Amino acid sequence: MSHRIVVVGGGAGGLELVTRLGRTLGKKGKARITLVDANLTHIWKPLLHEVATGSLNSTDNELNYVAQAKWNHFEFQIGRLCGLDRQARQIELAATLDEQGQVLVPARTLAYDTLVLAVGSVSNDFGTPGAAQHCIFLDSPQQALRFHRQLLSHYLSAHAGQRDSGQVDVAIVGAGATGVELAAELHNAAAQLAAYGLTGIQPQNMRINLIEAGPRVLPALPERIGTAVRSQLEKLGVSVHTGVAVKEVTADGMVTADGQLIPASLKVWAAGIRAADFLHELDGLESNRINQLVVRTTLQTTRDDNVFAFGDCAACPMGDGKNVPPRAQSAHQQASMLVTAMKSRLEGKPLPEFSYRDYGSLVSLSKYTAVGNLMGSVMRGSIKVEGWLARMFYISLYRMHQVALYGVIRTGLLVLTDRIGRRLNPRMKLH
């Protein structure tokens, strides 16, 4: 029987891993590769803020797991992980229900020889009262589409004269990359919606508040980058509040620690991350305070050599005492290492150890500009990039992800299709 490698989680890292393993080990019959995910399709998570504003049509950028499995010699199983039996080497999948609540796929178990967990992360509301009830979290396409529907409903109601006020207040908690990019994209969306005739709310009457508990925007990036981004946002009319903690979320808006109310009918929580709750002490595996599985530099969990974890759901140590940062480039690098590790594991060779390389970060401010820092072996420190060049680098990140999944030729055809689509379709999703 072929070695059974089960990867749970079809995000960027998990999908790249099974695609590359399928093309190598799966195609040659050296291993049986299975991907497990609760959804049928994949969309690159850094694009969700564009889905939320309507700048990107999610259906045009989705990848179907069933088709990807057929093309790349792995198997796909729909299901949500709900349990693990390490002694029996099998995972438990919850039943999948249809829209009417009827069982579509029953609960079942799936055996493995090597298990890889790549289930990503979700937003962390830190237990803030009212956040879960009143805020939208941009952790999935479904949540992004929910925000988009709410945004459109405000504009359509105002266009039909059904709203008393011709304005919409938006509050975004968290001035990391997601919050910053969403704020800029919303400013662009306001202009586009008015250009399409939805003038009940004028662009200047979309009031966007970006709220950050820390002292500056983009705290994970160099201060000069955060300063430049804040300046650009304020030029776009975004109100940036730093050093402001939200103590409660109500139907009317965000209540700050000093008792101020920041009004908002649309509320997004984009501050902090945590791994899924079910990972906490999953069949005895070691986890940290935000539910990440603790792994060694081989990406094996500390209590089971047959269970690996990577990406946002894993706490992988670096040499400086910190953990690998939860970024897309981290998951990409770890997926590449795991391809080598799985081959070594089958051959009985020592596993490689992961060493993170920071190539810098880029933040897109919609069509207006992009800014970030680039790092590499030929550079001393980092260099700041902005404007058109930074925008091209930012777009190339998604194209590199597509190349990893589709190959160069199909990605080239997708780029061509995107260009044609921009000429034939509205610039925004209006439904």
Tell me: do 298 and 235 sit in the same domain: no
Greater model confidence, 114 or 57: 114
Tell me: do 134 and 264 sit in the same domain: yes
Tell me: do 94 and 191 sit in the same domain: no
Tell me: do 310 and 266 sit in the same domain: no
What are residue 121's phi and psi, to 5 degrees?
-140, 170
Q: pLDDT of 252-266, one tens digit each? A: 999 999 999 999 999
Q: Is the pTM of this model over 0.85?
A: yes
354 inside domain = no
The proportion of the chain whose per-residue pLDDT surpasses 90, expressed as a percent, equals: 72
Tell me: do 143 and 207 sit in the same domain: yes
- Residue 415 contacts by C-beta under 8 Å, 6 or more apart in sequence? 399
**Residue 130, Cβ density class (10 Å: 0-12 exposed, 13-18 middle, ≥19 buried):** middle
Tell me: do 89 and 37 sit in the same domain: yes
Domain end (from 271, 295, 323): 271
CA separation for the pair 38, 94 (Å, rounded): 9
Neighbours of 68 (CB within 10 A): 21
Compute CA 78 distance to the chain's CA centroid, rounded to the nearest angstrom: 20
CA separation for the pair 72, 95 (Å, rounded): 26
Domain end (from 245, 271, 297): 271
136 inside domain = yes
The predicted structure's pLDDT at residue 101: 86
Tell me: do 196 and 184 sit in the same domain: yes
Tell me: do 263 and 388 sit in the same domain: no
CA separation for the pair 194, 232 (Å, rounded): 22
351 inside domain = no
- Residue 273 contacts by C-beta under 8 Å, 6 or more apart in sequence? 121, 122, 123, 124, 290, 312, 326
What are residue 143's phi and psi, to 5 degrees?
-70, -40
Tell me: do 326 and 394 sit in the same domain: no
The predicted structure's pLDDT at residue 378: 45
Give me the number of domains the chain comprises.
3
Q: pLDDT of 305-364, one tens digit each? A: 999 999 999 999 997 889 999 988 999 999 999 999 999 999 999 999 999 998 888 888
Q: Is the pLDDT of residue 162 over 70?
A: no
CA separation for the pair 361, 371 (Å, rounded): 9
204 inside domain = yes
Least trusted range by pLDDT, from 89-93, 315-319, 324-328, 424-428: 424-428
The predicted structure's pLDDT at residue 165: 66
Greater model confidence, 157 or 372: 157
pLDDT, mean over the chain: 92
The predicted structure's pLDDT at residue 379: 45
Q: pLDDT of 3-53, one tens digit each? A: 999 999 999 999 999 999 999 999 999 999 999 999 999 999 999 999 999
342 inside domain = yes
Q: pLDDT of 236-295, one tens digit each? A: 999 999 999 999 999 999 999 999 999 999 999 999 999 999 999 899 999 999 999 999
Q: Which CATH number covers residue 65?
A: 3.50.50.60
Tell me: do 383 and 395 sit in the same domain: yes
Tell me: do 365 and 252 sit in the same domain: no
Tell me: do 150 and 255 sit in the same domain: yes
355 inside domain = no
Q: Which CATH number covers residue 254?
A: 3.50.50.100
Neighbours of 95 (CB within 10 A): 14
Instruction: Provide the token pair at 172.
Output: 């975004």
21 inside domain = yes
Domain that holds residue 144: 125-271
CA separation for the pair 301, 281 (Å, rounded): 12
Q: pLDDT of 102-123, one tens digit each? A: 999 999 999 999 999 999 999 9
Domain end (from 253, 271, 289): 271
375 inside domain = yes
